[in-house]
Amino acid sequence: MSGREMDAADLEGRLAAFGAARGLFDALVEELGDPAADELTHAELEERIAARGREVMRQMLQDHLDLRSIREPRRSEVTGTDRVARRRIEPGHARLLATVFGTVSVTRIAYRALGASNLHPMDAGLNLPGERASFGLRKLAAIEAVRGSFDDAKTAIERATGTRIGKRQIEQLTERAAVDIEAFYRQAPAAAATAGHLLVLSFDGKGIVMRPEHLRAATVKAAAAKGGNAMRTRLASGEKNGRKRMAVLATVYDAKPAVRTVEDVIAGDTGAEHERQPGPKAVGKWLTGSVTDNAQTVISDAFDQAEQRDPHHQRTWIVLLDGANAQIEQIKTEAAVHGVSIHLVCDLIHVLEYLWKAAWCFHETGDPAAEAFVAEHARTILTHGPARVIDELRRHAAEHDLTEAKNETIEKVCTYLENKNPYLDYATALRRGWPIATGIIEGACRHLIKDRLDITGARWSLPGAEAVLKLRALIANGDFESYYTWHRHREHQRNHQAHYQDKISLAA
């Protein structure tokens, strides 16, 4: 037989291997070409082609796997990392694989030895996962699970693939999909930015309702001391329907300085129109968060990301914070560890909230004059710092016949401004074009946590909450596709190369 005849025979054999899929396709084509199909609406045609077409694709995958099984080369032996040579060769070992097209069977050779686990080199070539669900199905489960509830994810997966999958399995697949996110960011190149861009870090926290067994010990102890809720059908004042565990979030981004004046932030009362200049615009945003790690670990991760962007500490580092004392100390500690000089700026919105508390001590609820009161004192802080405002608030309190509670409120506001004074140098921040508000991290809290992890009725396990939080941050960073390719490679190393002594020949 000539070479051309051999090639033709090989091609004919390969095409014959896909006979089952071709038969399903030809049957669908014949059905669509039949005059009876002219009675179908376009919606009915879509439904029929989607359902039957999915079966064609499933059969194509099955036919390929069957052909691959026939062509699988035999080895004389396979040695694992346990240094045991498997010389007993048994073809015909099958396992099921649930895919985005449906479930298929993978038949391959098992290499065996007494007292040792079986090895299947074809599994390594296919990079089969440890569980029954394929990487494509795992990816789809992760995407749908971070969008909405696990019930919604279950419905969406069944609608898209025809594969029935349980809620618990979706949660497990989501957890598996997230296992390499931290390692991915440790090796990923940092976002590029010019030396003239500010390097901004910001942190915040938000509670997530957890299943009782996944609460922190201190929360469990506090709940036990308080006792159960008094009524069965509703909550009394101060009672909670679920205990929370605090998630810590961080963001790092670049921003070109944008010089502003006080009038750009808070309009004056002169009546003259002023065209406000926008503040620094965030670019290259990177988000992270954790419900398992403590605040210091998340802050450390953010500083590591910042150092990737500015390894020689040539840029201006701005840290926006909400004023929590523990957070400030943790940030200072991490800056010292990294040997970097930082500029701490307390969020202006938090300062305004304290000014509003003071305003209601001197004005009746709903009085429009309270707004002017807040604006006036805010402009003073933006221009000169808080010292003048502190003196004026205490003087006003002494001049007015305030209740004890209102006097306490004024003193709390003054104490807050005194304690945060080192971080309220807004005049310098505006002059140098720095941001002065934590809107980026506040928005991240809403997007990463409130929109998914805080939906009504949700009670989270620790692994599930951590996986969804990290995946939502990953997607928000725009890194999901590149991460998932890298994740599949890591799974190949864990599931296959880690079990073979000869790793090079098993590369997928």
Structure tokens at 340: 């970097």
Under the banding of pLDDT at 50, 70 and 90, the label for residue 226 is low
Q: Do 252 and 278 form a contact (C-beta atoms < 8 A)?
A: no
Place of tokens 């992890």: 453
What percent of the chain stands above pLDDT 90? 76
Among the listed residues 97, 96, 118, the one whose alpha carbon sits nearest the alpha carbon of residue 109: 118
Residue 470 has a pLDDT of 96
Q: Do 422 and 170 form a contact (C-beta atoms < 8 A)?
A: no
DSSP state of 162: -
Residue 508 has a pLDDT of 42
Q: Of 49-58, 65-74, 191-200, give the lowest mean pLDDT range.
A: 191-200
Residue 7 has a pLDDT of 55
Among the listed residues 145, 168, 167, 385, the one whose alpha carbon sits nearest the alpha carbon of residue 262: 385
For the residues 436-455, what does the mean pLDDT come to?
A: 91
Q: Is the pLDDT of residue 336 over 90?
A: yes
Report residue 156: phi and psi, to 5°: -65, -40
Residue 214 has a pLDDT of 78
Give the global pTM.
0.86
Residue 456 has a pLDDT of 83
Residue 14 has a pLDDT of 73
In what order do the strands lie in the sheet containing 198-209?
282-290, 244-255, 198-209, 317-321, 342-346
Tell me how far apart the alpha carbons of residues 413 and 127 are, in angstroms, rounded to a whole number.
61
Tell me how far apart the alpha carbons of residues 82 and 500 are, in angstroms, rounded to a whole number.
8
Tell me how far apart the alpha carbons of residues 185 and 305 are, in angstroms, rounded to a whole number.
8
Q: How close are the terminal C-alpha atoms of the chain, in Å? A: 34
Tell me how far apart the alpha carbons of residues 379 and 266 are, in angstroms, rounded to a whole number.
7
Q: Alpha-carbon Rg of the chain, whole angstroms?
A: 31
Domains of the chain, earliest start first: 1-71 (no CATH), 72-188+481-508 (no CATH), 193-347+437-478 (3.30.420), 348-421 (no CATH)
Residue 228 has a pLDDT of 55
Q: Is the pLDDT of residue 184 over 80?
A: yes
For the residues 456-480, what does the mean pLDDT come to?
A: 93
Q: Do 243 and 213 form a contact (C-beta atoms < 8 A)?
A: no
